[in-house]
Amino acid sequence: SQQGEEDPQALSIQEGENATMNCSYKTSINNLQWYRQNSGRGLVHLILIRSNEREKHSGRLRVTLDTSKKSSSLLITASRAADTASYFCATDVSGSTLGRLYFGRGTQLTVWP
């Protein structure tokens, strides 16, 4: 079953604008990860945030985590056409020793030049 849900399902913006995607999940986690997937391709790891972290940055990416609300957000600043892709959050659930990831359905981001 999919424990994470991204919101919105689709997002369309102009180049240069910021894009914000949200993720909600259901159970306690070890960490939460964001991945990008270009159409028909594999997943590219973007960033991992641990359960004891609240915010993390990587280049134009900013991720926040609120474990009390069981939610995370991914902000892409100054977006580019090349950022067009599907973005997935994935959770590593607490109590699991195996590290399997639970993915949401993703947010389809389209950045228009």
Partner 1 sequence: DTGVSQDPRHKITKRGQNVTFRCDPISEHNRLYWYRQTLGQGPEFLTYFQNEAQLEKSRLLSDRFSAERPKGSFSTLEIQRTEQGDSAMYLCASSSGYLGTGGRQETQYFGPGTRLLVL
C-alpha span between 67 and 54 (Å, rounded): 8
- Tell the smallest beta-carbon distance from residue 113 to partner 1 (Å): 25
- Tell the smallest beta-carbon distance from residue 40 to partner 1 (Å): 7
Residue number with CB closer to partner 1 (13 or 47): 47
Residues forming the site for partner 1 (CB under 8 A)? 2, 4, 30-31, 33, 35, 40-45, 48, 50-53, 88, 90, 92, 98-106
Tokens 């991204």 belong to 6
C-alpha span between 97 and 94 (Å, rounded): 8
DSSP 103: E
